Structure 1
Amino acid sequence: MSAAIYSARRLLPLRSSWSRPVTTAWSMPLRAKISNPLFLAKAEMATSAPDDVLFEVNRAARIVNLNRPRKLNALNESMISKMTPRITEWAKSDTAKLLIIRGEGGKALCAGGDVAALLNIPATESTTFFTKEYALDYILATYPKPIVTFMDGITMGGGAGLCMHTPFRIATEKTAFAMPETLIGFYPDVGASFFLSRLDGELGTYLAVTGERLNGFDAYFAGAATHLVPSAKLKDLEARLTELDTVEDFTGSSKYNAVINNAIDDFQADVPADYKFFYGGDNRKTIDACFKFETMEEITEALTRAAGAGDEFAKSTLDTINLRCPLSMKVALAAVRKGKTIDILETIKDDMFIAAKFMTEPDFHTGVSYRLVEKETGRANWQDATNIDVVRKFWPNGTNGVPESLQAEFDKLDQLGQDRPADQVAYKEYPFHNGLPTEKEVEQFVLGEARNSGPFLPTKEEVVEYFVTEYRDKIGVREKVAEILDRKTQIVKGHEDEQLINWV
């Protein structure tokens, strides 16, 4: 995704006392020897832009600093070709215990892939860019050591791919997170269908189809981020993380994960007293009711009915959908539905296949030209997708097989994990959960299906206090659990002064 793409919904003002200084992190290129011959050729391709990504070693930490601030750190092939071998080598190092990914300039971690550069090259070459990008995303998603990503500023598209599969995702007051690909005739790639399909309810479906954004607080409450830290504290947090080399080497273990999680929690910001999760409450009820269907036609009909009944959020969502590419939305919906049932490896392979197909679609060229080159803001001239069977067209099947060149890329992904257990390289659920409680966790506790939940119905206060204790008083737990309970439970009449609740 390009740095120039923004969501139609205006970011909510953040009522906070956080300061917003722009700091320039100290950086020095690390010229370590790269011994793996499989990556030498790729690294040599990047010599034309030696400083677009910088690498640092600081005690236990290995740091990747995206360094194209004028382009909002948008990814290009040069950056990907540098990061892939270096990150791969660090995975093998006994002295490297932690990977940190951040962006230079104070405005973005990464605004996406530089897709405008793909307009004037053959489809085979643009496909090569995406396969390299997704291979890097897969390496990060299955990395044997903890990764901390600083989502400080714009984190969209390809930038989201660098962070959303990692165990520690730090949002700040400047974060703007989105997968806005349906606005340019593409679809939510970089493994997004795996991540989005595992968010609460139908929120991930909504974000995939509409491309709407999450600000820092919303990203944290939605689960896109695992922590919320003021931007001004990131430098101090990084210094703390580099000091964790004094801890016994538990790299990859749950104990080391807890050490890092607790360290980050020490820097977290308070949630403003007047903060309200934009995608909670009635808005979330509309999302769950309207985006639960299997076709875009059904989703649009449900939104239309809700809008007709006076639902303003449904009306604005219809306006948003009208601007998006119909084909892209259909593919996005199908991808999220399938993504919920498959593992991370299959997800990345699907992305490689789908992206290759999109490179030959007129909508991709129409959307990128309209939005990123011409800088227009209205509705692009999309093709009619009413009768397009996206599952048959964009996923491998008997008549739509994997080409030999792409199969070779699939084989490379398989080789990356051949010496590791399958549950580490082809998992169906993320190995670590460091964010706020999920809606499913709250439901299981209320219904007595969770660990430490009893056979009796609880009160709201009991549920909230359980999760506050279970999550060590993590910032935002109380607020998120309370929002879930207000929306998803009701008082059981006739019991103990009508304080007991049940799930609805």
Structure 2
Amino acid sequence: MTEDLRTEAEPLVIVRQDGALLRITLNRPRAINALTRRMAELVRAAIRGAAETPGVTAIWLDGAGDRGFCGGGDVKAMSSDGLTGALAFLAAEYRADLATARSELPVIGVMDGITMGGGIGLTGHSALRIVTERSRLAMPETRIGIVPDVGGHLLLSRAPGRLGEMLAISSGSMGAGDALMLGFADHFVPSDRLADLAERIAAGEDPEGAARAIAAESLDGSTGAAPVVETPVLDARVWFDPIADAALGRADRAGADGVLADPVGAAERLLRGLETSEHPRARALGAEVRELCPTSVAVTLAQLARTRRDGLGLAEVLADDYRVLGRLLARPDFAEGVRAQLIDKDGDPRWAPDSIEGLDRAEIARILAPHAEGEDPLDLD
């Protein structure tokens, strides 16, 4: 029997016990469960309290409605709440992200449907990450004048070859097949088998074993479900990796040092390599990047390089995200990106500056610099 642990009408987050499973459901379906500060606080509290709930051995994290798990943070609200309010939201969000990774009980993150930005922060670091045929994952931050956060640079840095850079600078998206191959997910489960998976775990089955069994049945066709084989992002390594390696250096310490020494030059070389390539997909990608925030492109290349070079863990990456996002949120590009993409929806942001070539190297260095006097570091406790 399922027991409701909260009683208010239309709660932002529904928390309930179902046998051995504590189920946490984001509950803003009309907004694709876009995260608010209060929602992040509720998720963190539920996860941290799960180990004290008698009989619970695992946590199930999903979203209400049929559009997706989570479309990301509520950036419209964040952009109108002032820098202090935005930083308070980020702190709450990042603490929830870390809670999923450090949970005493395994968290099963269900990325069914749209899972972007803050949605990846909640599920991408969990113990068991599930995708379905409806999954669409993305870190779309360069479209709104910021950079991948919520520990996204950690996941992107571990993707094969230079695909982390490709996804980060272009706000690229991926389906289930690429999510599995790029390390953002662990198992494919058809959407119509999610209830079966939850029921098995609630009955006491090991989450990994139950997910593996259903995934195997699905992928071998025994249930009639089509295997997940499409990997267009992974396939892009053939043409993207050589261009990125030539522009950025190899994905090792020496290459990272070069990018960090001059992120603007690295971005210029990468964009030039894409635009002059003989491969049509490379030229198309170059055209896409031209439409995105130039400052975001240069900063995210540097963040990825630093994460790889220094072997940063999740807590360190989140602290890095908090510092850098605080500086980017204060720039006019963030408000302009939100206006163009989410408020007026004209898709025509006016970036300042409006090109990679126009970037001020001193400003990029300030955005990436260590904490300055007067800036409060992120408290993750």
Q: TM-score, normalised by structure 2?
A: 0.85
Matched, 1:126 2:86: yes
Shift of 1:151: 0.8
Instruction: Note if contact 2:177-2:230 (Cα within 8 Å) is conserved in structure 1.
Output: no
Q: What is the CA–CA distance in structure 2 between the aligned matches of 1:102 and 1:302, rounded to whole Å?
A: 37
Superposed, 1:442-461 pairs within 5 Å as none
* Distance verdict in 2 for CA 1:361–1:305, change over 3 Å: closer
Superposed, 1:11-410 pairs within 5 Å as 29-31=4-6, 50-93=10-53, 95-244=55-204, 258-266=208-216, 268-270=218-220, 275-281=229-235, 283-292=236-245, 293=248, 294=259, 295=263, 297-305=265-273, 307-340=275-308, 341-383=311-353, 386-389=359-362, 392-397=365-370, 400-401=372-373, 403=375, 406-407=376-377, 409-410=378-379
Shift of 1:367: 0.6
Which letter maps to 2:359?
T
Give SS of 1:127's match: helix
Q: In the alignment, what sits opposite 1:9? A: none
Instruction: Note if contact 1:350-1:395 (Cα within 8 Å) is conserved in structure 2.
Output: no
* Structure 2 residues not aligned, in runs of 5+: 249-258
Q: In the alignment, what sits opposite 2:253? A: none
Shift of 1:110: 0.2
Instruction: Note if contact 2:218-2:227 (Cα within 8 Å) is conserved in structure 1.
Output: no
Instruction: Note if contact 2:108-2:128 (Cα within 8 Å) is conserved in structure 1.
Output: yes
Q: What is the CA–CA distance in structure 1 between the aligned matches of 2:363 and 2:218, rounded to whole Å?
A: 43
Shift of 1:279: 2.2
Give SS of 2:184's match: coil
Instruction: Note if contact 2:111-2:132 (Cα within 8 Å) is conserved in structure 1.
Output: yes
Q: What is the CA–CA distance in structure 1 between the aligned matches of 2:228 and 2:217, rounded to whole Å?
A: 21
Which letter maps to 2:361?
I
Instruction: Note if contact 2:137-2:179 (Cα within 8 Å) is conserved in structure 1.
Output: yes
Shift of 1:79: 1.2
Which letter maps to 1:378?
D
Q: What is the CA–CA distance in structure 1 between the aligned matches of 2:217 and 2:66, rounded to whole Å?
A: 18
Q: What is the CA–CA distance in structure 2 between the aligned matches of 1:162 and 1:394, rounded to whole Å?
A: 26
State the Cα deviation string for residues 452-497 of structure 1 (Å, max 9, x = none): xxxxxxxxxxxxxxxxxxxxxxxxxxxxxxxxxxxxxxxxxxxxxx
Give SS of 1:149's match: strand
* Distance verdict in 2 for CA 1:289–1:363, change over 3 Å: same
Q: What is the CA–CA distance in structure 1 between the aligned matches of 2:168 and 2:174, rounded to whole Å?
A: 12
Which letter maps to 2:92?
K
Instruction: Note if contact 2:58-2:105 (Cα within 8 Å) is conserved in structure 1.
Output: yes
* Segment drifting more, 181-190 vs 71-80: 71-80
RMSD: 2.6
Q: What is the CA–CA distance in structure 1 between the aligned matches of 2:83 and 2:239, rounded to whole Å?
A: 39
* Structure 1 residues not aligned, in runs of 5+: 1-25, 33-46, 246-255, 417-504
* Distance verdict in 2 for CA 1:125–1:276, change over 3 Å: closer
Instruction: Note if contact 1:219-1:225 (Cα within 8 Å) is conserved in structure 2.
Output: yes
Give SS of 1:291's match: helix
Q: What is the CA–CA distance in structure 2 between the aligned matches of 1:273 and 1:171, rounded to whole Å?
A: 12
Q: What is the CA–CA distance in structure 1 between the aligned matches of 2:4 and 2:54, rounded to whole Å?
A: 20
> Which one has the bigger helix percentage?
2
* Distance verdict in 2 for CA 1:231–1:331, change over 3 Å: same
Q: What is the CA–CA distance in structure 2 between the aligned matches of 1:169 and 1:362, rounded to whole Å?
A: 35
Which letter maps to 2:343?
V
Shift of 1:306: 5.2
Q: What is the CA–CA distance in structure 1 between the aligned matches of 2:281 and 2:292, rounded to whole Å?
A: 17
Which letter maps to 2:187?
H
State the Cα deviation string for residues 35-67 of structure 1 (Å, max 9, x = none): xxxxxxxxxxxx7x7512101101111111111
* Distance verdict in 2 for CA 1:306–1:126, change over 3 Å: closer
Q: What is the CA–CA distance in structure 1 between the aligned matches of 2:317 and 2:63, rounded to whole Å?
A: 26
Give SS of 2:232's match: coil
State the Cα deviation string for residues 300-336 of structure 1 (Å, max 9, x = none): 4345445534211111111110111011111111111
* Distance verdict in 2 for CA 1:111–1:274, change over 3 Å: closer
Q: In the alignment, what sits opposite 1:466? A: none
State the Cα deviation string for residues 261-313 of structure 1 (Å, max 9, x = none): 534534544585894421234x2122212234123544543454455342111
Instruction: Note if contact 1:153-1:175 (Cα within 8 Å) is conserved in structure 2.
Output: yes
Q: What is the CA–CA distance in structure 2 between the aligned matches of 1:213 and 1:391, rounded to whole Å?
A: 26
Q: What is the CA–CA distance in structure 1 between the aligned matches of 2:131 and 2:228, rounded to whole Å?
A: 19
Instruction: Note if contact 1:300-1:318 (Cα within 8 Å) is conserved in structure 2.
Output: no
Q: What is the CA–CA distance in structure 2 between the aligned matches of 1:169 and 1:274, rounded to whole Å?
A: 15
Shift of 1:189: 0.6
Give SS of 2:55's match: coil
Q: What is the CA–CA distance in structure 1 between the aligned matches of 2:300 and 2:167, rounded to whole Å?
A: 10
Equivalent pairs: percent with the same residue?
A: 29
Shift of 1:238: 1.1
Q: What is the CA–CA distance in structure 2 between the aligned matches of 1:212 and 1:369, rounded to whole Å?
A: 20
Instruction: Note if contact 2:299-2:368 (Cα within 8 Å) is conserved in structure 1.
Output: no
